[in-house]
Structure 1
Amino acid sequence: MKFKDIEFGFKSAEAERKIDPDLLLDGFFHKGDIINEICNGVPYFILGYKGSGKSSIAEHLSLLSTTDPTLFVNLCALRDFPFEQVPEVISATGDKTVRTNLGWSILLVLKIFESISEDNEARRENPEIDSLASKLRKLGLLPKRKLRDLVLVSREIDLSLALPKALTASMKDTYKEPVLVLSQVRDVIMEMVIVTRTTNQHILFLDGLDEIFYKFEDSYFSLASLVHEVDALNSDFSNAGVPIKVVLLCRTDVFERLPSPNINKLRDFTITLVLLIGIIARINISNPNYSLWPPSERLILDTLVRMSSMISFPENLNVAVAIIWIPTNFYSITLAILPEISCK
């Protein structure tokens, strides 16, 4: 076997899924039991620096869901998301923080409901799901592949007027202020989601924040609000014992700088990836026999698998990113750093 027979993937998980999805499925390597932790465990924030593999995890699970009827994965990219318009989802004046928090909550609950509306088991359990889904489709709120489009439609139709009409049987005609009306709407849809029992797993991934917050620091307030709402929704789902989770992928440094006093308390719900957490590789032979590899090449791959737990790289050292994402330089870079690594 030749070292060149290994495919180490592409620079981005999105490109890899588009060009070679089998590699992202069959060649996905992850340290520990991170996939099970995300699906069935406590964490719902995945932190890591750019290139650490956050998007690869989301894309891997999204691909798995295409062949697993018990897994529903919705992947929302926020690269072109209009963060400044989130409070405008609530057609009212007043406290911007309240409107931003409620705006995020409404958007996320609608995306979760969209996932539930595609679950046949849930639809059989609760016929009201089909009825509400039909009304939301007529309003243009379902289906929406991008969260950005949901924001734009929400602003066009005035949610505080349109959504109560879709929920007439469940709404109490008590409130007139848009914030209070939409709070009640959010609660009604959440209750419908929570009481509808399904054995299927639903995961909403929020990705694409790396570049945005590198350039536009004004959006930190909106992201802090999003983090708050992700935490609140996951707490509700966990308390209700339903297999639903909203997972936010975020750069470690961005997460730590968020203007919120509760960030440290959320550490119990995070998974932090190191730069060498995973290597995506596939050996292009029909019957791989690792023991037949030349000792020098076995040492290289062994080293890569073990490095994440042995080495702490300085933050300004991008060797790990180059190792994972630049196949043409992989061999020479690995050989260059091997003398610096002590393998025991």
Structure 2
Amino acid sequence: MDINSVFKEISNWKLEAKQEDVERYFYHSESVDQVVNGEICYVIGRKGAGKTAICEHLTTLSGPTIFTKKLTFKNFPFNDLYELDNKSFSKPNQYITLWKYLIYTTIAKQMIHNEAIDYEIRSMLETVYSNDPERSLSRSIKRWVGMKINFSVLSTGLGYESTCENCDNRTPWIDRVEILEALLQDYIDDSTYLIVFDELDEDYKDVLTAESHKEYIALLTSLFKAVQDVKSLFPANGFKILPVVFLRDDIYEIVSDPDKNKWNDFLINITWSEEQIKSLLAYRISKAISRDGDILSFPKAWETMFDHRDIAYGHGQHKRMGKFPFMVRSSMLRPRDFIKFMKDCSSQALEQSIPKITSKIVQKSDDSFSNYLRNELEDEIHSIIPDIARIFDLISHIRKQTIPVDEFRFAFNEANDQGLIKEKNVDFVLRILFHFSVIGNQPKQRNYQIYRYKMPEARFNTSEPLIVHRGLYKALQII
């Protein structure tokens, strides 16, 4: 094994899963099987937790009996969707028909290429969609809801008639949902049809503006309910129609619906334990060593790259900690955090032409990691709190690891009075900082902290001091 080649390979790992070599590095987990088996249709998780990696892996699945299509809403003009409501539904259900239409249309187009489907049906579908080339999703949707697609081939050729009443005459696409639904129920085969909804956070901005918030949340709520409708109309014991929604956990949290608890049966919230991170790293290091070689155990994979010496830390450098626990302490237990560490450490080892990553390299990487984490969190929170960079500056100005809540409130209100921060609601800011694990709670047990990335159900306790996440210390000049 040429260790320099391994360091070079790892230094080229990508933080963004869409740019990664998915075939080589995708770590297959049980959650992927649950999606493909139809047990899971909602994949929720933090930015960097691995949603995109799963999504990218799913899009590679294809074959004679599996058809996959990703509907990505990156840079999508959401205002176009807001105009496509069904007036016969009350809010927030007015977009259910639209989402079902997108799902059914996507499947109908996939059926054209499925030789297991009756030839006559495929010919009819090909006639319907003959002038519908692959293009950007926004342009495709405009065409699908427009007047140029002739559904009379299906409605008259197969004897389907729409029973839609009270439909706005300007939106005839609404009638087509029933026709497509009947077509799928009568003629779809037992192939697997995966329809993946991704990058739905593109319109997650101005969420505190009432109207923007209502339209966006209604659109998402309708999507979740449309998926439930499709699952009930096409049960897993007879059909394999699998719409899958990928969404950030902070966005999912603000979706409100009486049926939301029922969605939990079909939902997975991606979280990682230390042991799972170890398994992921062992897999990726093994693949960096050899694309087709054996998967090493974590200790074996780790020792190929890192020397055995612990990291000295604390006052006088008298305390000792292993390199992996040191990384864990700075991370939020997300795959992306460890990929960032591994990239930086490998780059430095390569530059120094040394055979093992040393403690000094890990400590130096911790500096750049801290700045990366701050930037990542600012990007993530900015749509909710535009002042987030100034709030980070405020924490830096206080310059304490543990801060009494009243002290933070005083500093916040003072900055507010000086016009440095526009957001007025300090309790709202504290809740958001806790939600994203910028801060945690420090109970009386000094060796124990409560962070939401470790305990997803935790809520901020104003009676306990707040503690800043250790991964931010250097970026905020706390130590």
**Which TM bucket (shorter chain)?**
0.7 to 0.9
| Residues 199, 243 of structure 1: 8 Å contact kept | yes
Superposed, 1:62-141 pairs within 5 Å as: 62-65=59-62, 68-86=63-81, 88-89=83-84, 97=92, 99-124=94-119, 127-138=120-131, 140=132
Alpha-carbon contact 2:49-2:334 (below 8 Å) kept: no
Q: How does 1:137-286 map to 2 (within 5 A)?
A: 137-138=130-131, 140=132, 143-157=133-147, 162-164=150-152, 166-169=154-157, 170-172=159-161, 177-178=166-167, 182=173, 184-214=175-205, 218=213, 219-238=216-235, 241-274=238-271, 278=280, 281=284, 282-285=287-290
Unaligned runs of 5+ in 1: 17-22, 301-305
Q: Is the 8 A contact 2:85 2:94 kept in 1?
A: yes
SS in 2 for 1:149: helix
How many pairs align? 312
User: Is the 1:76–1:146 contact (alpha carbons within 8 Å) kept by the matching residues of 2?
Assistant: no
- The alpha carbon displacement at 1:47 in A equals 0.8
Q: Mark the CA change 1:264 to 1:87 in structure 2 (over 3 Å): closer, same or farther.
A: same
Match of 1:47 in 2: 44
Task: In structure 1, give the amino acid aligned to 2:18.
Answer: E
Q: 1:234 to 1:297 in 2, by over 3 A?
A: same
**TM-score normalised by length of structure 1:** 0.74
Give the conservation status (yes or no) of the 8 Å contact 1:44–1:245. Answer: yes
How far 1:87 moved relative to its partner? Answer: 5.0
1:10-55: CA deviation from partner (whole Å, max 9, x where unpaired): 1212222xxxxxx311322133x22221111411001111111111
1:4 matched to which residue of 2?
Answer: 7
What SS does structure 2 have at the residue aligned with 1:248? strand
| Cα contact 1:123–1:129 (8 A) shared by 2 | yes
1:27 and 2:29 aligned: no
| CA drift at 1:69 | 3.1
Q: CA RMSD of the aligned region, Å?
A: 3.9
Q: Retained in 1: the 8 A contact 2:61–2:67? A: no
Distance 1:64 1:185, change over 3 A: closer
| Whole-angstrom distance in 2 between the partners of 1:78 and 1:325 | 26
1: distance between equivalents of 2:329 and 2:269?
Answer: 14
Question: Given the two structures, how large is their TM-score scaled by the length of structure 2?
Answer: 0.55
Cα distance in 2 for partners of 1:299, 1:244 equals 50
Superposed CA deviations along residues 263-315 of structure 1, whole A, max 9, x for unmatched, are: 22101101111257655722234755847667475899xxxxx99xxx8999x
Relative CO higher for 1 or 2, CA cutoff 8 Å, sep ≥ 6? 1
- In the alignment, the residues of structure 2 paired with residue 92 and residue 76 of structure 1 have an alpha-carbon distance, to the nearest angstrom, of 25
For residues 195 and 16 of structure 2, what CA distance do their matches in structure 1 show?
A: 20
**Secondary structure in 2 aligned to 1:122?**
coil
- 1:324 and 2:327 aligned: no
1:213–1:220 CA contact under 8 A, matched in 2: no
Contact 1:85 1:151 in 2 (8 A): no
Distance 1:284-1:114 versus aligned 2 partners, 3 A rule: same
Query: Aligned pair in 2 of structure 1 residues 246, 283: CA closer, same or farther (>3 Å)?
Result: same
In 1: Cα distance, 2:42 partner to 2:206 partner: 22
Residue range with higher mean Cα deviation, 110-119 or 47-56? 110-119
Which sits farther off after the overlay, 275-284 or 99-108?
275-284
SS at match of 2:58: helix
Whether contact under 8 Å (2:97, 2:174) holds in the other structure is: yes
Deviation at 1:93, TM superposition (A): 8.9
Give the counterpart letter for 1:78 in structure 2. Answer: F
Q: Which moved more, 1:148-157 or 1:265-274?
A: 148-157
Q: Which has the higher helix share?
A: 1
Gaps of 5+ in 2: 309-323, 347-360, 367-446, 448-479
Contact 1:107/1:150 (8 A) holds in 2: no
Change (3 A) 1:108 1:82: farther
Contact 2:100 2:226 in 1 (8 A): yes
Following superposition, the deviation at residue 328 of structure 1 comes to 2.6
Change over 3 Å in CA distance of 1:268–1:29 after alignment to 2: same
Seen in structure 2, the aligned counterparts of structure 1 residues 49 and 211 have a Cα distance that, compared at 3 Å, is farther
Partner SS, residue 157 of structure 1: coil
In structure 1, what is the Cα distance between the partners aligned to 2:261 and 2:334? 29
The 3-state SS of whatever aligns with 1:51 is coil
| Shift, 1:150, TM fit | 2.6
Are 2:69 and 2:196, in contact at CA under 8 Å, matched by a contact in 1?
yes
How far apart are 1:91 and its partner, in Å? 8.5
Question: Compared with structure 1, are the counterparts of its residues 325 and 108 closer, same or farther at alpha carbon in structure 2 (3 Å cutoff)?
Answer: farther
Shift of 1:136: 2.8
Matched with 2:456 is none
Aligned residues of 1:72 and 1:202 also touching (Cα < 8 A): yes
**Counterpart amino acid of 1:81?**
F
Bigger radius of gyration, 1 or 2?
2
Cα distance in 1 for partners of 2:86, 2:302 equals 67
